[in-house]
């Protein structure tokens, strides 16, 4: 291998583009960039670049056609994400958004660096953009890769929806500006519905509220209570629909007595 061959292999356009996208995705997610910018970069980092980096590191040279490389890169990225998740779970590493970003970025950068070194050592230039007629078989591979990517994204959304579900209704009871007052309120769940709020002091029911709220609608009220009622803990209970069991409750501690 002569010096001229290695000099021609210094610039690897495809690896450079992947490197820039991976770094942009990392900083966009870490810095909370707008969703319209963050989403395509995150999708590239999760579903393409790690697999392409691995493929480039293992298979030096243009062994596969462009459609085949795209399909293998997508499936490899999915496999790497699954294996990484299992490894993090086995090691007790918290599986969080930034953890995924660190892991996928590390895999991508490692694969790209190894691929660049191997190509440079062999004097091989990477693929460059160009226009050529695509055979029917390769066109079919592109379509299959697109359908696979769409199914992965749709399945991820369904799994996330099943895992986390809709946020529940919220309930709060806090001290008001008046020394013996309190603020009682709630926010309906994303589906809305009928609710019943019961405010009690000890064994005595002080107030009941029957509410019908729309999706995520907020309701609150200011309560004016007497010193005897605020001398004991206040409990607000939330009943959803026709349920006889409260779904959540909050407790407001009594006002401290000023008596000597």
Please write down the HEC assignment for all residues of 197-257.
EEEEECCEEEEEEEEEECCCCEEEEEEECCHHHHCCCEEEEEEECCCCCCCEEEEECCCCC
Pairing type for strands 204-213 and 170-175 reads unpaired
Cα distance between the two ends of the chain:
95
Strand partners, 193: 213
- The confidence score (pLDDT) of residue 162 equals 46
- For the beta sheet containing 234-240, the strands, ordered from the edge strand earlier in sequence to the opposite edge, are 204-213, 193-201, 234-240, 248-252
- The confidence score (pLDDT) of residue 163 equals 43
Distance (Å, whole) CA 69 – CA 129: 14
15 part of a folded domain? yes
Is 177 found in the same domain as 143? no
Domain range spanning residue 35?
A: 3-164
Distance of CA 256 to the CA centre of its chain: 44
196 part of a folded domain? yes
Domain CATH code at residue 185: 2.60.40.10
Instruction: Give the E-state strand segments of the chain in sequence order.
Output: 170-175, 181-187, 193-201, 204-213, 218-224, 234-240, 248-252
- The confidence score (pLDDT) of residue 12 equals 81
Strand partners, 122: none
As for how many domains the chain has, the answer is 2
10 part of a folded domain? yes
Is 140 found in the same domain as 66? yes
49 part of a folded domain? yes
Distance (Å, whole) CA 143 – CA 20: 26
Is 127 found in the same domain as 247? no
Query: 102, 252, 111: which is closest to 182 by C-alpha?
Result: 252
Distance (Å, whole) CA 145 – CA 111: 22
- pLDDT digit of tens for each residue in the chain (260 aa)? 444 455 555 678 888 899 999 999 999 888 888 888 888 888 888 888 998 998 888 887 666 677 777 788 888 888 888 888 888 888 888 777 888 889 999 999 999 999 888 888 877 776 665 544 555 565 665 566 565 655 555 545 544 444 445 578 899 999 888 778 889 999 998 888 999 999 998 788 999 999 999 888 999 999 888 888 888 899 999 999 888 888 888 998 887 654 44
Is 175 found in the same domain as 149? no
Look at the chain and count its residues. Answer: 260
- For the beta sheet containing 170-175, the strands, ordered from the edge strand earlier in sequence to the opposite edge, are 170-175, 181-187, 218-224
Phi, psi of 198 (to 5 degrees): -125, 125
- The confidence score (pLDDT) of residue 44 equals 87
CB atoms within 10 A of CB 55: 21
Last-in-domain residue among 143, 164, 185: 164
Is 140 found in the same domain as 46? yes
């Amino acid at each position: 291998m002569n010096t001229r061959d290695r000099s021609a292999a210094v610039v690897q356009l495809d690896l450079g583009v992947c490197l820039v996208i991976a770094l942009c995705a990392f900083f966009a997610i870490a810095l909370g960039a707008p969703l319209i910018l963050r989403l395509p970069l995150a999708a590239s980092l999760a579903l393409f670049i790690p697999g392409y980096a691995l493929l480039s590191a293992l298979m030096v040279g243009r062994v596969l056609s462009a459609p085949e490389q795209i399909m293998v890169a997508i499936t490899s990225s999915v496999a790497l994400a699954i294996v990484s998740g299992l490894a993090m779970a086995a090691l007790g590493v918290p599986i969080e958004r930034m953890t995924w970003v660190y892991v996928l970025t590390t895999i991508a950068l490692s694969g790209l660096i190894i691929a660049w070194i191997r190509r440079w050592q062999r004097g091989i230039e990477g693929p460059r953009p160009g226009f050529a007629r695509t055979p029917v078989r390769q066109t079919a591979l592109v379509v299959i890769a697109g359908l696979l990517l769409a199914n992965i994204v749709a399945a991820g959304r369904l799994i996330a929806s099943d895992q986390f579900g809709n946020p529940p209704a919220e309930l709060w009871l806090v001290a008001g500006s008046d020394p013996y007052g309190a603020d009682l309120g709630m926010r309906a769940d994303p589906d809305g519905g009928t609710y019943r709020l019961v405010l009690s002091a000890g064994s005595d029911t002080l107030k009941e509220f029957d509410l019908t709220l729309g999706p995520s609608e907020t309701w609150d009220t200011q309560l004016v209570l007497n010193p005897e009622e605020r001398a004991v803990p206040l409990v607000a209970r939330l009943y959803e629909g026709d349920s006889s069991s409260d779904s959540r409750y909050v407790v407001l501690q009594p006002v401290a007595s000023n008596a000597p």
